Amino acid sequence: MSLQDPYYQDDFVTIYHGDSRRIVGYLPKVDAVVTDPPYGLSKPGQINKGLRGETNWDFFPNDSREHGDAHAEWIAESLSAMVFQHGWMYVWLGHRQFGIVTKILEDKGWSTRFLVWQRASPAPPAPSATWASGASLCVAAYRSGRTWNGKPSDINNNVLRADSYRHGAPGKNGHPTQMRDCLVRIPIELSTREGAVILDPFMGSGTTLRAAKDLGRKAIGIELEEKYCEIAAERMQQEVLFR
């Protein structure tokens, strides 16, 4: 086998449509992994009826608890080997996978911190749950010699505040768990140099790739569902925002 042709490519971004586990072995090392894999939260056929109306919890195929744990193990075991010594891993994940990723990476010699996404308005709780989801966690991992662009005088808070995308909100692109730009842009800006290569093996609608391109970094994205590859490709063709 050989590396397949990209679904989309420009001077900064390359997108592959397919299974990450079959593609990453053909890729070069990268300066950072920044990703938001499925957490294993989908409830097949489940519609939750609450005070705010109906919420569809059937997000993705193959997104059971077991799938979420397997994604976490693969990221920590396999993807960590693809990152240069100076590089970082930022993995947004569910609370069940946080310990999995942290333990594996620390056993491999990585140091870990964490980021918190605090939502302005908590997401509705899952069926039969009690607490609404007002926050998400991210493992931030690095090793000796890491890249860091923050100045000693800066206070870089590990709590990032941004609301989740609601139905019909400006910028909502059709992906059910679309990330806010700041959740990936700030880590990329602080932890990589201009021209660095960022990998997102669970690309979704391309938020990580879009942020990397806007910041003058290069990015590789992989996505299993073609409809999200198309959304991401359209986003990559938009004008660069921040440079």
pLDDT, one tens digit per residue, over 70-128 is 889 999 999 999 999 999 999 999 888 999 999 999 999 999 999 999 987 776 666 66
Q: What is the model's pLDDT at position 65? A: 59
Average pLDDT over residues 185-204: 97
Q: Are 16 and 233 in contact (CB under 8 A)?
A: no
Q: 62 or 192, which is more confident?
A: 192
* pLDDT at residue 185 greater than cutoff 90: yes
One-letter amino acid of 212:
A
Query: Does residue 48 lie within any of the structural domains?
Result: yes
Mean pLDDT of the chain: 86
Q: Are strands 133-142 and 111-123 parallel, antiparallel or unpaired?
A: antiparallel
Q: What is the model's pLDDT at position 51? A: 47
Q: What is the model's pLDDT at position 2? A: 84
* pLDDT at residue 214 greater than cutoff 90: yes
Closest among 26, 35, 115 to 76, alpha carbons compared: 35
Q: What is the model's pLDDT at position 159? A: 94
Q: What is the pTM of this model?
A: 0.85
Instruction: Output the six-digit token pair for 21.
Output: 């586990």
Distance of alpha carbon 50 from alpha carbon 127, whole angstroms:
9
Q: What is the model's pLDDT at position 1? A: 67
pLDDT digits (tens, 9 = 90+) for 48-78: 555 445 555 555 556 555 677 888 999 999 9
Q: What is the model's pLDDT at position 106? A: 98
Q: What is the model's pLDDT at position 179? A: 79
Query: Does residue 138 lie within any of the structural domains?
Result: yes
CATH of residue 30's domain is 3.40.50.150
Q: How many residues does the chain have?
A: 243
Full domain range(s) for residue 65: 8-236
Could you count the other beta carbons within 10 Å of the beta carbon of residue 60?
Answer: 16
Q: Are 101 and 91 in contact (CB under 8 A)?
A: yes
Distance of alpha carbon 170 from alpha carbon 149, whole angstroms:
31
Query: Does residue 151 lie within any of the structural domains?
Result: yes
Sign, CA dihedral 233-234-235-239, equals positive
Distance of alpha carbon 70 from alpha carbon 135, whole angstroms:
22
Query: Does residue 243 lie within any of the structural domains?
Result: no
> For residue 109, what are the CA distances in angstroms to 104, 105, 148, 190?
9, 7, 18, 22
Total of domains in the chain: 1
